[in-house]
Amino acid sequence: MQDASAQMALLQFMTCGLETTAIPSSIHCDHLIQAYEGAESDLKRSIVSNKEVFDFLESASKKYGIEFWKPGAGIIHQLVLENYAAPGMLMLGTDSHTPNAGGMGMLAIGVGGADAVDGMSGTPWELKAPKVIGVKLTGQMNGWTTPKDLILHLAGKLTVKGGTGSIIEYFGPGLDNQSCTGLATMANMGAEVGATTSTFPYSNSMREYLHATARGPVAKAADEISKTGFLQADKDAEYDQVIEINLSELEPHINGPFTPDLATPLSKFKQMVQENNWPTKLSAGLIGSCTNSSYQDMSRVESIAQQAKAANREAVVPFMVTPGSELIRATIERDGVQSTLESVGATVLANACGPCIGQWDRREAKNEDNAILTSFNRNFKARNDGNLKTMNFLASPEIVTAMSIAGSMTFNPMTDILPASGNSKELKFEPPHGTFLPTEGFIPGDTTFAPEPTPEPIPETPVQISPSSTRLEILEPFKSHFENPEEAGELPKMQCLMRVRGKCTTDHISAAGPWLKYKGHLSNISENTLMTAVNDEDGKVNSAYDFQEKTTSTIPDIAKRYRERQQPWMIVVDENYGEGSAREHAAMQPRWLGCCVVLGRSLARIHETNIKKQGFVPLTFKNKEDYNKIDAGDQVETVGLKGLFAGDLNTPVSVKVTKKDGSVLDIPVNHTLSVDQLNWVRHGSALNAIAAAAAA
Ligand code: F3S
């Protein structure tokens, strides 16, 4: 878990009354570190400004025996690759680039906090069986081409949706010379095509990487098991779709702006810049991040910096480096890579996400059109510096470095020449070169950032949350809807709060942006509930009517009044309600405000499960046209849940609607509740059900 998403995951875990996690778990402080002037001062400042969050995460880690990586240790995915990833492992991570660990030949899947709590509490975790896209690699990369270019090219082919619901499995002779960290780069950006994860057969480079990172026994175990046919595709494997890429023909790519699937081969990029009127001047270059900060990346980048230095040149725009981990930082410092980069003007930032997640306190180019090049993985608007006008283009670190030295968006490092000027000599770059692993081995650097391995839980540790905190709040277990959960039946009588029209994603239900700072404070973040949803009755955004006080107000405000009056409520929603992310806040907030039923034309699958986990009930209309028959203020009662709780899952379910004029309707509905899920609703949430089982 990373520090932003870990907050609610841990708060939830705390409610289930377990002494420790059911599986090995770790927390990584990386997202909350702000980048401004350089590693040391940035880290110090961010530790002060996020102290309460870090203190909370550290104390809870101690209590439950979770490995806690302090701010400065590095970025979650790099640390996972260096310390935890193992061939054949299944791992969940509360971050969308968790698939990075697929570079080690495993299944690493990005999930929401509620799913992580499933893992940590020993609850079965479910995933709709994904399709498998086979990517066959032939030929060999050479010169400037890197694994980043492969995935940038594939993103152009598949688009941001092409991998949805699929695992990408790479195979073919083109894999033979790929480094484990290069495979991790490819797997990392599988997230950009929507893939569940990406994976590779166990390889020699994985073995070497395991040995280099002091995990010889894991390599040995993988060697043994791979002899029996595991850790590789079955001989007769069939794929739902096969894409073939000849690496010998692949050229470097630059993707963007604003979407990672707008892929342009380097040779066509100048033309694209001119045709689209993109800025011709580069305004900053950033390399590193979880995507591209391996030793190999850094040593190849060094070879470019050395050429620039020999020609008496340096980056002519701000040029920043985020090492992925303390191991990488310390090793590149020892090997002189860092000093070479600094000698051409690089600023080395903290071992953290920084500019990759909008934590870039960029004081120039505010609100101006400008173009930056990064070796990161995402380039949505405002992703890096909060400026909607910053065009972020993605490329390999080698290309970013060479173009930062040229300062131009139309410079092609493979073919163009930088002319001599002043003290600077003419420069035609040679293709970069580097080594997969450091010849003298890795050094750990500052080990105070790292946790003790497999810490024992210390149950008496007080979890540090200040009662006056605006960012963290102890999560009270949700109350069961029933006085005696063992006698669960129909839900209490509800009032319809509103009918939501059209698209309503998890972003509409729980907005991100400035609200992210309240991720660990349920009552504060609930102030954003459904605030961009459209009310079908008046067509307005964030508008609801309070039938008791006869006033119109915002949706969260009306929902809060219901909560204060202890009036259970429900909402009617349209098609695919809750699409988007696995964000559990989108289910927790309505539940906290007193919502008992979400009744829609259709519901997004993951969100539907999240609703059940939080102990309320998702239903869909049997006849979609019934959507219009329930209005705000109508009284709604469930009919049939009693039979489900009694064990007959085929009991017909309907809702009895008493209209405001007194007329009564019976509307048939569908449910997808399993016996286990009914148990969650019975107890008020999945976590309550776990706590009840633990107490029994
Ligand atoms: Fe961090 Fe960016 Fe990776 S936010 S985890 S460096 S994708």
Q: What is the pLDDT of residue 109?
A: 96
Mean pLDDT of 519-542: 96
The predicted-structure confidence for 396-421, as pLDDT tens digits, reads as follows 999 999 999 999 999 999 999 999 99
Q: What is the pLDDT of residue 254?
A: 98
Dihedral angle over CA of 497, 528, 605, 15, nearest 10: -100
Ligand 1 centroid–CA 356 distance in Å is: 6
Residue 303 confidence class, pLDDT cut points 50, 70, 90: very high
Sign of CA dihedral 455, 459, 461, 464: positive
| Residue 359 · residue 29 · CB < 8 Å | no
Which of these, 593, 618, 597, lies nearest to 528 by C-alpha position?
Answer: 593
* CA distances (Å), origin 589, targets 434, 524, 583, 584: 50, 10, 11, 9
The predicted-structure confidence for 478-502, as pLDDT tens digits, reads as follows 999 999 999 999 999 999 999 999 9
Ligand 1 centroid–CA 272 distance in Å is: 28
| Residue 239 · residue 133 · CB < 8 Å | yes
Mean pLDDT of 437-460: 96
CA gyration radius for the chain? 27
ipTM higher than 0.85?
Answer: yes
Residue 161 confidence class, pLDDT cut points 50, 70, 90: confident
Atom of ligand 1 nearest to the CA of 97: 7
Atom of ligand 1 nearest to the CA of 100: 3
Helix, strand, or coil (residue 34)? coil
Q: Which residue has the tokens 């086979």?
A: 134
Mutating to test ligand 1, I would choose from 97, 320, 516 the residue with most ligand atoms within 8 A of its C-beta, which is: 97
Q: What is the pLDDT of residue 606?
A: 81
The predicted-structure confidence for 129-147, as pLDDT tens digits, reads as follows 999 999 999 999 999 999 9
Atom of ligand 1 nearest to the CA of 95: 5
Q: What is the pLDDT of residue 605?
A: 81
Mutating to test ligand 1, I would choose from 29, 189, 290, 297 the residue with most ligand atoms within 8 A of its C-beta, which is: 290
Atom of ligand 1 nearest to the CA of 76: 5
Which residues, judged by CB distance below 6 Å to any ligand atom, belong to the binding site of ligand 1? 30-31, 75-77, 95, 97, 289-290, 353, 356-357, 376-377
Which of these, 300, 301, 289, lies nearest to 376 by C-alpha position?
Answer: 289
Report, as residue numbers or ranges, the catalytic residues.
30-31, 95, 378, 581, 583
Q: Which residue has the tokens 């148990």?
A: 679
Measuring from atom 1 of ligand 1, which residue has the nearest CA?
Answer: 353
Q: What is the pLDDT of residue 60?
A: 98
Q: Helices marked H in 252-343 — which ranges?
A: 266-276, 295-310, 326-334, 337-343
Backbone angles phi, psi at 76, to 5 degrees: -40, -50
Q: What is the pLDDT of residue 291?
A: 98
The answer to whether residue 364 scores a pLDDT higher than 80 is no
CA atoms within 13 A on the CB side of 158: 31
Ligand 1 centroid–CA 31 distance in Å is: 7
Q: Which residue has the tokens 């770059």?
A: 429
The predicted-structure confidence for 211-246, as pLDDT tens digits, reads as follows 999 999 999 999 999 999 999 999 899 999 999 999
Backbone angles phi, psi at 549, to 5 degrees: -90, -5
Q: CA-CA distance, 116 to 90, in Å (whole number)?
A: 13
Mutating to test ligand 1, I would choose from 151, 188, 297, 376 the residue with most ligand atoms within 8 A of its C-beta, which is: 376
Q: CA-CA distance, 518 to 523, in Å (whole number)?
A: 9
The answer to whether residue 275 scores a pLDDT higher than 80 is yes
Q: CA-CA distance, 108 to 81, in Å (whole number)?
A: 11
Ligand 1 centroid–CA 314 distance in Å is: 27
Strands 569-573 and 664-670, bridge-based pairing: unpaired
